[in-house]
Every structure is written in C-alpha cells, then in structure tokens.
Amino acid sequence: MIVSIKKGTDENQVQNLVEWLESLNLEIHRSNGQYETILGLVGDTSHVDIDLIEGLNIVNRVARISEPYKKASRKFHPDDTVIDVCGNKIGGGNFQFIAGPCSVESTEQICSIAEDIKNAGANLLRGGAFKPRTSPYAFQGMRAEGLDLLKKAREITGAPIVTEIMDLSHLPLFEDVDVIQVGARNMQNFELLKELGKTDKPILLKRGLSATMEELLMSAEYIMAGGNSKVMLCERGIRTFEHYTRNTMDISAIAMLKEKTHLPVIADPSHAAGMARMVRPLALAAVAAGADGLMIEVHNDPARALCDGPQALRPEEFAKVVKEANAIREIMTKF
C-alpha cells in the first residue's frame, strides 16, 4: 500500500501516522519528494482500512497494491477450487447447469419442472421459497413450505437443490438444502455471511447490484474466514445508467474474476436481463467468456406462460441453450 502525504504536513503528524502503521505490523519505507512524501507499506496490508487512511487531512491519496482478500485470492491459491454438490462438480473445468422456476408454487409445478430440466441436461434444481421483493405488497414466496416442496422434487429426480436464504434466523430450515444461495441484496449482510462460514454447505454468492468485484471477493472472504471454502460466485448483472435492460450483465467480470480468484464463477442470465428473450444470448456469451456454470429460470406451464415467467425459458428453449452452450464449451478447448 502506498500513502502520499501532502506537502507541508507537520512532521509530528507524519510520525504519528508512521507509528500507528508500524503498530499494525507493517514495515514503512519513506521517501521525501519535492511535492509530497510517499510512504510504502510492506507486509500484510489486508487488515488495513484504506478508507480510514484516505480520509486523513494530511493524505493526498492512498493506493492499494495488493488485494485486501487472501483466502479467495488466486495469488495464494493458484489451483482452481472444485466444489462437489452431491457428486456434481463445479469449477476446475467442470461445468453445471442450475435450472428451475423463479418461485416454488406447488408440488406439481416444481416436480414437473424438475423432470424437465433434468431431461434437458441440468443436474441442479433451483427454486425460490423465500423471495426478496422490492414491494411489501408483492408475493413473498411459499417460505418454509416451499423448501419442503423442493425436497420432494429432489426425492423424485435426485437433483440437488439450490435455494435462497433471506435471513439468518431461517438457517435451521436450510439444514437439508444442498446449496444455499445468498442473494444480491444480502451480499453485504455480514452477520449472515459469518454464520454461513461456520456451516459446511456450498454457498452460491450473488454479486450485489452495485458491488465491485473486490467487494464480492471480500464477501466470499467473510465466508471463507469462518472456515467454509465452498463458495461459488455468481455474476447477475450490475446497475448502470442504461434503462433498455433492467441490469447490465458484466461479462468482463467472468473472465476477470477467474483471474483474481480460484473460486468457480457462475452466470445468471435470467436476472441480468430480466426478459426471457435475452437469456439465450447472455447465456451463450457467459459460456464463451469462460463461466463455470449457468443458472437459468425455466417454467413449464404453457397455459400461464404469458404472465408467469418474464425472465424464464420454456423447457424446450432451455434444452436448446444447453446444447448450444455445450457446443461452445467444446470449441473453447479445440483450437
């Protein structure tokens, strides 16, 4: 970390800062220039609060050279992490399709879709039981009952289940869930992350709408610091000024995250676009950019199709995307 001190700063203040930094077990290299004094901080700076230093009146600018995460960093763990979900591997060259409805609605619905997506090539079943909704007047999900229906669908198809937790107090209900999803709005719910770090469940951690990649990795670090290193990251679109699409899928994040971390990176093209007709192009793009998996919303009720699934594919559309995605994956290692 590099700290630039303003010209004309009182020497006592500089000394105070140097001593405080040394008390954090850092070695300080100082060079006095004509227009500023530069402090180079050598050692483990992952626990140094960059905002705190940047806010000091005597400081021009602070630059972090090393990333503030360690367990999630590829620098310290060069090999890909491979996560095994009931025999289905993700990461390190292993790819998975995770599919299912936005919300669990009935035994019939979830079991039928579960069969469909399995036949189409997805090994993992997703479905929302607890639903975070912007409006208090919108449907909030079947909650505990929805979890039970997901387990029934798992019994029938054998597909492990992926579902979102919304609050720490619900954790006991998730004991028999195979992958716990942390939604975008909870990416910095640190109390929740800490508790998930004490479990041994695979966690699917979604990137917040305005979270930087570094913040996403810091949230993964929270879980890993607790002892649970089975974290999958999920790019699902970020918030920008553009309004023709609900969110802007950050396709560069897929390639960049795979450079920065050893954790698997999944893409969620359904939420990134918010419209079914954009799912296929975004899904294929994510595969071409190097994603380790796709999470896609699929619905199956043609009678309600019109209003049911704004961002969901029909099973036959999903099956086509699976074939195309697999074909693109083959090309990626061919030339």
Contact 39, 3 (CB under 8 A): yes
CB of 157 to a copy of itself, least distance (A): 24
Q: Which residue number, 108 or 239, has a Cβ lying nearer to a copy of itself?
A: 239
Q: Can residue 30 be called a binding residue for a copy of itself (CB under 8 A)?
A: no
Q: Can residue 22 be called a binding residue for a copy of itself (CB under 8 A)?
A: no
Contact 200, 171 (CB under 8 A): no
Q: Can residue 222 be called a binding residue for a copy of itself (CB under 8 A)?
A: yes
Q: Which residue number, 85 or 286, has a Cβ lying nearer to a copy of itself?
A: 286
Q: Which stretch binds a copy of itself (CB under 8 A): 88-96, 109-117, 173-181, 307-315?
A: 307-315
Q: Can residue 282 be called a binding residue for a copy of itself (CB under 8 A)?
A: yes
The end-to-end CA distance of the chain, in Å, is 41
Q: Can residue 248 be called a binding residue for a copy of itself (CB under 8 A)?
A: yes
Contact 86, 176 (CB under 8 A): no
Contact 257, 289 (CB under 8 A): no
The residue count for binding a copy of itself (CB under 8 A) is 118
Q: Can residue 17 be called a binding residue for a copy of itself (CB under 8 A)?
A: yes
Please pick, from the candidates 105, 116, 221, 292, the single residue that binds a copy of itself as defined by CB under 8 A.
221
Binders of a copy of itself in range 138-157 (CB under 8 A): 138, 140
b/e code 55-88 from CB counts within 10 Å (16+ = b):
eeebbbebeeeebbbbbbbbeeeeebbebebeeb
Q: Can residue 56 be called a binding residue for a copy of itself (CB under 8 A)?
A: yes
Q: Which residue number, 154 or 280, has a Cβ lying nearer to a copy of itself?
A: 280
Please pick, from the candidates 133, 144, 176, 198, the single residue that binds a copy of itself as defined by CB under 8 A.
133
Q: Which residue number, 87 or 334, has a Cβ lying nearer to a copy of itself?
A: 334
Contact 295, 266 (CB under 8 A): yes
What x-and-dash track marks residues 286-305 binding a copy of itself by CB under 8 A? xxxxx---------------
Binders of a copy of itself in range 228-247 (CB under 8 A): 238-246
Distance between CA atoms of residues 266 and 287, nearest Å: 9
How do strand 293-297 and strand 203-206 relate by DSSP bridges?
Answer: unpaired
Q: Which residue number, 154 or 297, has a Cβ lying nearer to a copy of itself?
A: 297
DSSP 115-172: HHHHHHT--EEE-BSS---SSTTS----THHHHHHHHHHHHHH---EEEEE--GGGGG
Q: How many CB atoms lie within 10 A of CB 143?
A: 14
Residue 83: strand pairing partners: 90
Contact 228, 256 (CB under 8 A): no
Q: Which stretch binds a copy of itself (CB under 8 A): 35-43, 104-112, 118-126, 152-160?
A: 35-43
Distance between CA atoms of residues 122 and 114, nearest Å: 9
Binders of a copy of itself in range 253-272 (CB under 8 A): 253-256, 259-260, 272
Residue 98: strand pairing partners: 124, 295
Binders of a copy of itself in range 63-102 (CB under 8 A): 63-66, 68, 75-76
Q: What six digits make up the tokens of 172?
A: 């006991």
Please pick, from the candidates 30, 93, 119, 323, the single residue that binds a copy of itself as defined by CB under 8 A.
323
CB of 323 to a copy of itself, least distance (A): 5
Binders of a copy of itself in range 166-205 (CB under 8 A): 166-169, 185-186, 188-194
Q: Which stretch binds a copy of itself (CB under 8 A): 79-87, 114-122, 129-137, 151-159?
A: 129-137
Q: What six digits make up the tokens of 306?
A: 């019109």
